A = this chain, B = another copy of it.
Amino acid sequence: MRNHLMGFTLLLASALLAFSAPAQGDPLPSWNDGDAKTAIIEFVERVTDEGSPDFVPVYERIATFDNDGTLWSEQPLYFQVIFALDQVKAKAADHPEWATTEPFKSAIAGDMEGLMKTGMAGLAKVMGASHTDVTADEFAASVNNWLDTARHPTTGKRYDEMVFQPMLELLEYLRESGFKTFIVSGGGIDFMRVFAERVYGIPPEQVVGSSIDARFEMRDGVPTIIKEGKGLFVDDKAGKPAGIYRHIGRRPLFAGGNSDGDLQMVQYTTMPRGPEDTTPRFGLFVHHTDADREFAYDTPSHIGEFKEAAKLAPENGWLVVDMKNDWKLVYPD
A residues adjacent to B (C-beta < 8 A): 59, 62, 136-137, 180, 182, 189-190, 193, 197, 203-207, 211, 213-218, 221-223, 225, 238-242, 245-250, 264, 267-268, 271, 273-274
Contact = CB atoms under 8 A, between A and B. Distances in A.
Contacts of A214: 242, 245-246
Contact of A197 (B59, B136, B213): B59
Given A189-B249, A241-B216, A222 B273 contact: yes
A206 B62 CA distance: 13
Contact of A204 (B197, B218, B222, B249): B249
A92 B135 CA distance: 48
A196 to B, nearest CB: 9
Contacts of A225: 241-242, 245, 268
A238 B240 CA distance: 27
A264 B216 contact: yes
A51 B240 CA distance: 44
A222 B274 CA distance: 8
Nearest to A237: B216
Given A264-B216, A267-B223, A211 B241 contact: no
A207 B273 CA distance: 25
Nearest to A268: B223
A223 B245 CA distance: 12
Nearest to A140: B249
B216 A268 contact: yes
A249 B207 contact: yes
Nearest to A239: B216
Nearest to A248: B205
A59 B238 CA distance: 32
